[in-house]
Amino acid sequence: MKTTIINPLTALSLAFIAPNLLAQTEQHTQPQHKKTYQLEFILDSFSYSEVMPVIETFGGVIPVARIGRESSYSDEPEAGRQALTHNRAHLRAGWQNWFFQLSARYDYNIEFTPDAAQLFFLDRNERPVDKNDYQLKFSANHVRANGIGLGYRWQYQDLTLTVSANYWDVEHMENGNINGVFHANQQDDSFEVTGDIDYNYFKDALLDRANCEVSDPPVAGCYGRWQTDGHGFNLDMQFSYQISDSWRFDANIYDVYSRFNYQKVGKTIGRLNTQNEQFNPDGSFTINPSFSGEYADGKFSQSVSTQAQLRLSAELLVPVWAEVYAANDTNYPSIGIGQTWFNTRFELGYQAKTEAFMFRAKHDYINFALASETTNFEQAKALVFSLGINYAW
């Protein structure tokens, strides 16, 4: 029995070790020829939601209804929940160390209390409340834009540094906060909703305000017209350092600096104040919040959280690596192993916070990565995808 067990393990170890020793030898013996022209396509996507499938979030900018459907009853509304996505696509054309790129991006970060999502769910599904007070805290930051960029790549011995600057034309934006309380009065079967709202937008997804001119005679719901365009600028950075023959460090940092400016964006500032509303006979309710405040349409500036992916890899008997993806004040660490076959590095890994399993394949001309906690991507709460294709001559 021992012989039967040892031989397969030995064979498996040799299968991992031998190709990598050969790959390391080839890496240090083959001459490197610098190319003059390059064409490259890059797609990076990271999405994670604590309560709902991430694919559903792309159906609406602020998917409160979908959040509500997946939320559970909570006795700790202060704990909060989060949903985020950061997506980039670049088409690059390079000459020597310079490159020009056409780019697109889609980013949002949504933070909310479970009470806020649960109350929305109860409202839309005509269900009764199960407690007297719900803490309503909700914030969202969203940008969708297309742009152009210019970058330069420095290389000195084992150090490579790439910096790119991008100019963005914003197609859609939202940025806002709601902080309030839903209170149910069981004695007279009434409820009230009070709170503060500070909300900037191209399209009002909360109070459904119409974007139309003030007229005489006035038209119901028209309180002034705002603009739906804006422009932005950001800086990205990539960093690689070959520490030794066996150790390497890589960093990919998006939005080292970002700023998006709007001359006249839609803006709602004030208070929600709905009082003495009656529950329906079956205990269900409908929230039609009264608003008191101002539509202060005007200038606004917005930024997006820096996203950083840091990686340390080592060519040991079995290649190993560790990464951390950081965005919106949250870290997502992962670890894994690798193997080289047919001039292609294959990697398997695990991301702790999202419970996602990772697969990656790297070749001189193409690289691909996919991570999720389930093979049913329509129900995935974590979805990481990247694709890179390049050709140089």
pLDDT of residue 3: 38
Tokens of residue 89, six digits? 């696509």
Q: What is the DSSP letter of 292?
A: E
pLDDT of residue 57: 55
Tokens of residue 214, six digits? 């003030």
Residue positions counted in the chain: 393
Tokens of residue 45, six digits? 């996507």
Nearest to 307 by CA among 37, 28, 29, 88: 88
Tokens of residue 218, six digits? 């006035």
What is the C-alpha separation between 278 and 214, in angstroms, rounded? 33
Q: How many separate helices (H) and strands (E) can be counted in the chain?
A: 4, 17
What is the C-alpha separation between 347 and 200, in angstroms, rounded? 43
What is the C-alpha separation between 239 and 237, in angstroms, rounded? 7
What is the C-alpha separation between 372 and 359, in angstroms, rounded? 9
Q: Is the pTM of this model over 0.75?
A: yes
What is the C-alpha separation between 42 and 99, in angstroms, rounded? 13
Burial 147-168 (b: 16+ CB within 10 A, else e): bebebebeeeeeeeebbbebeb
Backbone φ and ψ for 282, nearest 5 degrees, come out as -85, 5
How many Å from the N-terminal Cα to the C-terminal Cα in the chain?
56
Query: Who's near 208: CB < 8 A, 6+ residues apart?
Result: none
Query: Who's near 236: CB < 8 A, 6+ residues apart?
Result: 149, 151, 163, 164, 166, 253, 254, 255, 256
Instruction: Name the 3-class secondary structure at 293.
Output: strand
Q: Is the peptide bond before 217 cis (omega within 30 degrees of 0)?
A: yes
CA atoms within 13 A on the CB side of 15: 6
Nearest to 61 by CA among 168, 170, 136, 140: 140
Instruction: Name the 3-class secondary structure at 189.
Output: coil
Rg (CA), the chain: 26
What is the C-alpha separation between 210 and 221, in angstroms, rounded? 6
DSSP track, 1-23: -HHHHHHHHHHHHHHHHHHHHHH
pLDDT of residue 273: 75
40 within 8 A of 388, measured Cβ to Cβ: yes
Per-domain boundaries in the chain: 2-392
Nearest to 336 by CA among 327, 324, 328: 324
Going residue by residue through the chain, which has 393 residues, state the pLDDT in tens, using 9 for 90 and above: 433 333 433 333 333 333 443 344 334 334 445 678 999 999 999 999 876 666 655 544 444 444 444 444 444 555 567 889 999 999 999 999 999 999 999 999 988 887 776 776 666 566 777 778 888 788 889 999 999 999 999 999 999 999 999 999 999 999 998 888 877 776 666 777 788 989 999 988 777 888 988 777 777 777 788 999 999 999 999 999 999 999 999 999 999 999 999 999 999 999 877 665 666 666 555 556 667 888 899 999 999 999 999 999 999 999 999 999 999 999 999 999 999 999 999 999 999 999 999 999 999 999 999 999 999 888 888 999 999 999 999
Instruction: Name the 3-class secondary structure at 279.
Output: coil
Instruction: Name the 3-class secondary structure at 375.
Output: coil
Tokens of residue 90, six digits? 């670049």
Instruction: Name the 3-class secondary structure at 73.
Output: coil
